[in-house]
Amino acid sequence: MTTAVLVVMLVGLLALQIFLWFAGLRFGLSWVGAERITVGRLFKAALLVLLLNLAVNAVWEITPGPGALSYPAGLLIGYAISILAQWLVIAKFFRLGWLKSAIASSLPILAPIVTVLFVLLVSKPYFFEGFTPSTNSMAPTLLGEHSWQDCPVCGAPAYGSLFGDRSRRRRPVKIICDQFHVTQSYAALTEGRSDRVFFAKYLRPSRWDMVVFRPPSNPATFFVKRLVGMPGETITIKDGAVWADGKRLDPPDDLEGLEYVTKISGFRGVMWGDEDNPASLGEGEYFMLGDFSSEAFDSRLWSEGAPGRPPFAVPSSHIVGVATHVYWPPERWRIIR
């Protein structure tokens, strides 16, 4: 169902942008006195501009940009390239000089602005938003910037942290594979890029969902973790599994092999959810865990809670949405929910 909603929204936005571009160009060409303005020529011009923009966006996605280039700067560069593409296509298709082409393009240029406003005012607040994990606490299910190699146990891809300081790679790196085998590697690992994820604002979170939320200690940021504890439950982790009110929970089949830990090397604080510190959730409170349990900073380790809440609890008011699709990179594309 989420895929159908997402497809309808994306196709609708594309159709809206093409219609606005089409109508704006028709008016602009009439304004500058262009000849041979036919529906067929307008459609071909609109299609070519769309394909050029898609090509530019694809190149932008797969080409690593300079680290100092901010997102707004990249957006402006992409918009400038889009404008130049429109000028070129209009000038060639309708045999106009650059000045008349620029004038005729003035209204079509507004089409992306209208669609961006729709995304900002309607889509993002109420339907879907994009998110990029900043860590690998949800590996192998969701990946931030990472390094990888073949798992020494089963040969499946295994993922670990990507160190900015290359000298640290001489130390062992803890890795987790797609079959949830956790091992260590001393080898030089291949670098990989972050997943890009859509999450739905309109879904009600359920157990085992991957949920995007604002962590209690820093509500200005977004985390993504797996929801394992529901309001009113007492959560305990033992034997590698999650227990709710004394009953062992059975995870979905795609999490077979995943084990949660309650002992992390070097951690000296309270481990919420272990047998000595069960996590009792109140009304509207949730317990979150990362799939890469030994490397995840999640409800087990938190020391600061939301006002009036225990440290391990994520209030319902902090939940932003439910992860539904991985849309980039293409080889990682999949439907989550």
| Residue 63: predicted pLDDT | 55
Report yes or no: 6 and 324 within 8 Å, Cβ to Cβ: yes
Residue 137 known to be catalytic: yes
Give 23's pLDDT tier (boundaries 50, 70, 90).
Answer: confident
pLDDT over 70 (residue 293): yes
With vertex at residue 289, the alpha carbon angle to CA 284 and CA 290, rounded to the nearest 5 degrees, is 145
pLDDT over 80 (residue 235): yes
Is residue 166 included in any domain, yes or no? yes
Same domain, 180 and 222: no
Same domain, 161 and 39: no
Regarding pTM above 0.85, the answer is no
| Residue 61: predicted pLDDT | 59
Better-scored residue on pLDDT, 167 or 147: 147
| Residue 59: predicted pLDDT | 66
Is residue 137 included in any domain, yes or no? no
Is residue 187 included in any domain, yes or no? yes
Is residue 135 included in any domain, yes or no? no
Decide which of 71, 96, 126 is a domain's last residue: 126
Q: Domain with 236 in it: what CATH number?
A: 2.10.109.10
The active-site residue out of 137, 161, 293, 299 is 137
Task: Please report the DSSP string for 12-73 in residue order.
Answer: HHHHHHHHHHHHHHHHHHHHTT-S---HHHHHHHHHHHHHHHHHHHHHHHHSPPPTT--HHH
Give 227's pLDDT tier (boundaries 50, 70, 90).
Answer: very high
Is residue 138 included in any domain, yes or no? no
Give 289's pLDDT tier (boundaries 50, 70, 90).
Answer: very high
Is residue 134 included in any domain, yes or no? no
Residue 225 known to be catalytic: yes
| Residue 65: predicted pLDDT | 45
Better-scored residue on pLDDT, 281 or 29: 281
146 three-class SS: strand
Same domain, 279 and 158: no
The active-site residue out of 147, 225, 293, 299 is 225
Is residue 12 included in any domain, yes or no? yes
Give 322's pLDDT tier (boundaries 50, 70, 90).
Answer: very high
Q: Which of 12-21, 118-127, 287-296, 326-335 has the lowest mean pLDDT?
A: 12-21
Same domain, 42 and 84: yes
| Residue 68: predicted pLDDT | 39
| Residue 111: predicted pLDDT | 78
| Residue 247: predicted pLDDT | 97
Task: Please report the DSSP string for 93-113 in residue order.
Answer: HHT--HHHHHHHHTTTTHHHH
Same domain, 209 and 331: yes
Domain with 22 in it: 2-126
pLDDT over 50 (residue 269): yes
Is residue 131 included in any domain, yes or no? no
Tens digits of per-residue pLDDT, 183-213? 988 766 788 889 999 999 999 999 999 999 9
Report the C-alpha gap between 212 and 198 in whole angstroms: 10
Decide which of 126, 155, 175 is a domain's last residue: 126
Decide which of 95, 126, 157 is a domain's last residue: 126
